[in-house]
Amino acid sequence: MIPEPQRAYVLELLLALGPATGGFVLAGAQAMKFWLPRARATRDFDFILDVMSLRPLDVSISQVLASLGYTPVPEARLFQFDKPIPDSVEVMRIEFMAPEEYQRGVRDFRVDIQEGVHARGCAAASIALRESDVRQLNGFLPSGAPASTTVRVIRPTALVLMKCLAMDDRYRNLRGPLHAEHDRNEARVHATDIVAVLSAQANLGEFRTSFLAQCPAGPLRDRVLRILTEYFGDENKPGSLLYEEFLRLESGPEEDDSRHELLHARRILSAFLGATPC
């Protein structure tokens, strides 16, 4: 479950958004905390926005954010917002994504949501909006008052789909050499999250069936299956190497644990890929 102090502040945000909350789908590592026994730590909250349901609402998302102390991240062009958590070194960062079919154009990936709020256009975000479930979130507000609300959470199959696409984009360093180190780190995170989700599945066959069913035959499905094979087809493929890098960075002197985790991941990936031929 989402830890404190972040849980208190995301509860505060969701309750303040009121009816607009129905147009928000929680994705990324925070979503993984709802259905994995262990998920990596993160301060970021990634939301996929249902553009068409949010645009006509009277609720002003930008005004809600401002009233709670969030400010736009300057370089993010109104799709990332930060809020320092009082009396703490922690920061709340909110990032908005939306289906790429609504973005401004080929050279401008932004999606207009409302005045003062954009989202980053993402492939497969429309699938994630559809492939989500309502989950309960309980806790306490920053004031200490008990609070409860619901939030739509991306399903594991849709998250793996989006992670594959994001990993490929970051690994290929489409933004150029100035972002090479950051993009490599992000590709490593996405590869690790893919392994984590697959490793948690009790039945990879059922997961595979649901994974394929969410993405109709066509260019997107072909691309995702190609990414899976090209990145995880064997131990020398980029995705496997990215995961190995992560393990070596995390394990430190515990090399035996790293080797064990790597062998386990290879078995899981081989089982999944062996059942999903391109």
What's the CA angle centered on 233, arms 228 and 238, to 5 degrees?
A: 75
Q: Tokens 């993984």 sit at which residue?
A: 32
Question: What count of Cα atoms within 13 Å lies in the side-chain half-sphere of residue 182?
Answer: 6
Question: Which residues, including other chains, have CB under 8 Å from residue 233's CB and lie 6 or more apart?
Answer: 273
CA 214 vs CA 96, 151, 218: distances in Å: 22, 21, 12
Cα–chain-centroid distance for residue 102?
19
The pLDDT tens digits for 119-169 are: 999 999 999 999 999 999 999 999 999 999 999 999 999 999 999 999 999
276, pLDDT greater than 60? no
- Read off the tokens for 116: 């003062």
Mean pLDDT, residues 200-209: 92
pLDDT given for residue 257 in this prediction:
66
Q: How confident is the model at residue 42 (pLDDT cuts 50, 70, 90)?
A: confident
For residue 175, what pLDDT is reported? 79
pTM of the model: 0.92
Whether the pLDDT of residue 103 is over 90: the answer is: yes
**In the prediction, which pLDDT does 157 show?**
97
Percent of the chain with pLDDT over 90: 78
Q: Which pLDDT band holds residue 277 (cuts at 50, 70, 90)?
A: very low
Residue 185: pLDDT band with limits 50, 70, 90: very high
Residue 49, strand partner residues: 24
Task: Indicate the pLDDT class of residue 259, thresholds 50, 70 and 90.
Answer: confident
Structure tokens at 46: 């990634």
Q: Which of 116, 171, 105, 86 shows the shortest CA–CA distance to 96?
A: 116
**In sequence order, what are the residues at sequence separation of 6 or more whose Cβ sits closer than 8 angstroms to the Cβ of residue 42?**
28, 29, 30
Contact 190, 127 (CB under 8 A): no
Query: Mean pLDDT for the chain?
Result: 92
Residue 129: its pLDDT value, please? 97
